[in-house]
Chain A
């Protein structure tokens, strides 16, 4: 699942990953929690600054549902927001702007765990 409120970023991540994986999009944290309950995606790529519910809050909520959830943070504020995401339960944080290679390497690492 890719959680990102910026439609252009969401679309490009989907295009980049859709030839390898089934990608479920979500545009805010609340939607992500709802989708997680239904589909239990294997890996979640989570943006931080989003309307309705931010990525830190959504990570906490998902971890309550599934403590083993593998959530990879995506943020421009890697130092500050990245730390908050890791504290909330994310397994790793990738700084924006990122490349397709970075995304795939991170996803593969946690898919095979």
Chain B
């Protein structure tokens, strides 16, 4: 960027409280203001020449390239949201506003970034609450209402009435579980400050509430919060309810700057055709299908901790959920 141009952008950008970044046609950063440096956790020298693509979530790269191409072609681009990696290594949504400038035959894109985390979190929370109340809770209560009607109208036989009452209890518990999940969702999206969590202690505390053998190998301290308990509760419940496993084995070890936790069960394996969708919002499968929130919640929590989760087949049968969380004493 020419020095005169750069000076103009610098004078404007250095005083702006919002992150501002300018990059050339190749996507190389030519200027970043202090707010952008603070967001990225880098000094100006580290940022110069670095590709803007490196900061963008892999799934949003095409969106970025398309906007860049259109801006450089002189088209106006509507404000849009991209996920960018912050200094903690976590992707957060930013509203991107900007345009292209041309000086002495060189073209540059200048964009400002507004943190949309709170807005996106609230939007997500509203969607989840609405869906859970309108669909899941209402279905659970519809069943409760009808079981009660059946008890009143049909059950002269004591044994049958007892069975219906047990089902009433199950449906009520399901409604309670949905409400508890909603509370955990709130933690997942607008949760507390991340802190040092000993994974083994969390797993052992959760395991006490399950009636099958759950063994733990290894130890790890990670960046998380008390929502990590919900992650294991849902994984164990999932292995029991869907996999009908008779035992669960947990192994954890340090892998570079991460702690890898493998939660293995020996139940029914997850069919290949649904593996890509099990973490989707509202996805349910099979006879034991529940609210479709459990694994989605697990993924949201793990992502909030800057980690990742995926599923593999266990040998000879069952599934292994692999979680990678940032180790507390990581180097970055």
Which residues of A approach B to under 8 Å, CB–CB? 5-9, 11-13, 15-16, 27, 49, 51, 76-77, 96-100
Shortest Cβ distance from residue A91 to the other chain B in the assembled complex, whole angstroms: 21
CB distance from A8 to the nearest CB of B (A): 4
Inter-subunit contact A97/B141 (CB<8 Å): yes
Cβ of B138: which chain A residues have Cβ within 8 Å of it?
76, 96-97
Q: In the complex, which of the residues A5, A7, A16 contacts B146, with contact meaning CB atoms closer than 8 Å? A: A16
Whether B142 sits at the interface, judged by CB under 8 Å, is yes
Dominant secondary structure of chain A at its interface with chain B: loop
Q: Are A76 and B289 in contact (CB under 8 A)?
A: no
Q: Distance in Å from the Cβ of B155 to the closest Cβ of chain A?
A: 10
Q: How far is the CB of A12 from chain B (nearest CB, A)?
A: 4
CB-contact partner of A76 in B139, B149, B150, B170, under 8 A: B139
Among residues of A, the one whose C-beta sits closest to the C-beta of B150 is A15
Q: Which 3 A-B pairs have the closest CB atoms?
A: A8-B143, A12-B146, A97-B142
Docked pose: A9 CA to B149 CA in angstroms:
13
A76 touches B135 (CB 8 A): yes
How many of chain B's residues have a CB under 8 angstroms from any CB in A? 25
Give the contacts of B61-113 with A (CB-CB under 8 A): none
A7 and B287 alpha carbons, distance in the complex (Å): 8
**Contact present for B142 and A99 (CB under 8 Å):** no
Tell me if B134 counts as interface (CB < 8 A to partner A).
Answer: yes
Q: CA of A49 to CA of B289 in the docked complex: distance in angstroms?
A: 13
Known contacts A49-B135, A77-B134; is A5 also within 8 Å of B142 by CB?
no
CB distance from A112 to the nearest CB of B (A): 23
A7 and B174 CA atoms in complex are apart in Å by 12
Supposing A51-B289, A76-B135 touch, asked if A97 and B171 sit within 8 A by C-beta, the answer is no
Q: Is the interface of B mostly helix, strand, loop or mixed?
A: helix
In contact, A96 and B142 (Cβ under 8 angstroms): yes
Q: Mark B113-154, 1 if CB is under 8 A from A, else 0.
A: 000000000000000000000110011111101110110011
Known contacts A12-B143, A97-B142; A76/B285 CB under 8 A: no
Provided the pairs A16-B150, A51-B285, A100-B146 are in contact, do residues A8 and B135 lie with their beta carbons within 8 angstroms? no
B21 CB to closest chain A CB, in angstroms?
A: 42
Residue in contact with B139 in the complex, picked from A8, A51, A99, CB distance below 8 Å: A8
What residue in chain A is nearest B170 (Cβ atoms)?
A8
> Which residue of the partner chain, among B143, B150, B284, contacts A5 with CB atoms under 8 Å?
B284
- Residues of B within 8 Å of A77, CB to CB, are 134-135
Q: Is B296 an interface residue (CB 8 A)?
A: no
Q: A8-B174, A12-B147, A15-B150 are in contact. Are A98 and B142 (CB under 8 A)?
A: yes
Max chain B Cβ within 10 angstroms of own Cβ: one of A6, A15, A98: A6
Interface: B283 (CB within 8 A)? yes
User: Complex formed: what's the CA distance from A76 to B141 in Å?
Assistant: 11
Using Cβ atoms and an 8 Å threshold, which residues of chain A touch B171? 8
Asked if B143 and A51 make an inter-chain contact with CB atoms under 8 angstroms apart, the answer reads: no
